[in-house]
Amino acid sequence: MAITLNNGFTMPVIGLGVWRMEKKALKDLIIDSIRIGFRHFDCASDYKNEAEVGEALSEAIESGIVKREDLFITTKLWNTDHGHILEACKHSLKKLQLDYLDLYLVHFPVSIRHTGIGATGSPLDEDGILDIDTNISLETTWHAMEDLVSMGLVRTRSIGISNYDIFLTRDCLAYSKIKPAVNQIETHPYFQRESLVSFCQKHGICVTAHTPLGGADANAKRFGTVSCLDDPILKGIAEKYKKTVAQVVLRWGIQRNTVVIPKTSKLERLQENFKVLEFELAEEDMDLIKGVDKNYRTNIQPAKFWGIDLYA
């Protein structure tokens, strides 16, 4: 099951996100996920595990478990490399052991002080605030992303954005020669962001939901947030379908025409997540889920680490 992007390429509606994955377990996890049926993997330079993902993909391809052309691999440009996009992309390709990416995203709409290709820190200034580079505009960044496609030096099939709001997305549409194929954002039942999702879809931009389960225990520990998986309405719907709450939430995301990339390190969860393609929620239940929205962000809270709130 896939969504067709605005450039004609298709993107599987469910993938595996690899943020905060243990490096030692990642290789087996990815190979297991491919055996289950996953073909879409969401990576990033900042996740610091592209090399481990690359080892797993290489082994899977060489052993004949999967063909490269059947995979959809995403990775992301980190904030420190906005002025070095070609080099950063090539660096990621080398680590991933790939000749091309299926999707390359601008991870955040901010350029910060360069600290070396692939050095994915978040340098702070003397006041303890994120050291933002005011010499590189998002428009300049985007045109360099476009060069990856038009120059043919790196075979990046699609380019996109991540963590962009409506206004930044609108601006990107205005100055782009190649329209962003994807905007990857946090969205889940407690943070539905209907205006942003609808705007993107209206203008041919596919929305990928990172944190599609609201982060669950991981974000509760990291950010002190509340998970939608404990919501009584969602639990009731799950009982109706004899599914887990996570399966219901992922299916809801797919039925609103977004791509979901849940993260898990457990084999049984991988299997459960992939089975969301096997059932469908009734419209009445989709409407019930619409009613639990709290406009509640659970992830990517930069003020805790960067001394600045990018979403203020």
pLDDT at residue number 13 = 98
Measured between alpha carbons, how far is 222 from 235 in angstroms, rounded to an integer?
A: 24
Binding residues: 107
What was the pLDDT predicted at 6? Answer: 95
* Whole-angstrom Cα Rg for the chain: 19
Partners of 160 in the beta sheet?
Answer: 105
- Residue 217's pLDDT is 57
| 164 catalytic residue (yes or no) | no
- d(CA 55, CA 50) in angstroms, rounded, equals 9
For residue 193, give the nearest of 281, 114, 283, 253 by alpha carbon.
253
For 277-299, the pLDDT digits (tens) are 999 999 999 999 999 999 888 87
What's the confidence (pLDDT) of residue 305? 75
Q: What is the DSSP string of 178-218?
A: S--SEEEEE-BTTB--HHHHHHHHHTTPEEEEESTTTTHHH
- Per-residue pLDDT of 214-231, as tens digits, reads 866 555 555 566 789 999
Contact 75, 131 (CB under 8 A): no
Q: Is 246 helix (H, G, I), strand (E, B) or coil?
A: helix
By C-alpha distance, which of 63, 48, 41, 73 is closest to 262? Answer: 41
Annotated binding site for substrate, which residues? Answer: 107
For the chain, which residues score pLDDT lower than 50? none
pLDDT at 218: 55
Q: Which pLDDT does position 265 carry in this prediction?
A: 86
Point out the catalytic residue in the list 47, 104, 164, 190. Answer: 47
- What is the reported pLDDT for 244? 96
